[in-house]
Structure 1
Amino acid sequence: MAKVTHEMTIMEVLKLDPGVAPIFMKHGLHCLGCPGATMESIHDAGQVHGINVDVLVNELNQFLESNA
């Protein structure tokens, strides 16, 4: 099973499982289809939006593990 990392883009994670979309949105990353979602890493997006990326990545991985 793939594991989400800080270096992955939002789009890479969405391709693993589109069900993660609400997790991104809960953390303030609402533009899931914008060009930034395909180009910048989760880490970079987190810095721009003031998000605790460790918490976000942990929640994404927990979701993916529970749906494996």
Structure 2
Amino acid sequence: MTDQTQTVFDTDEMNAQVIAVIEACEGDPKLAIRALLVEQEILEQRIARLASALSFGYVRGRTGINPRHPG
């Protein structure tokens, strides 16, 4: 595959995942979309918490790396 034709997700795999999500929601596409939106919100909140914790660690100088003493 060339860079132009290579996609992030394989179309067949993506279609299979879409079908699996809709089937998990008993065939209701609105419920499937709602479930995915809820999952997205949960992941965004998790990312925000992790980013906040990481920023706090850098501010306090606690990165887990001590530049004076190589590991």
TM-score, reference length from structure 1: 0.35
Which structure ranks higher in relative contact order (CA pairs < 8 Å, sequence separation ≥ 6)?
1
TM-score of the two chains, using structure 2 as the length reference = 0.33
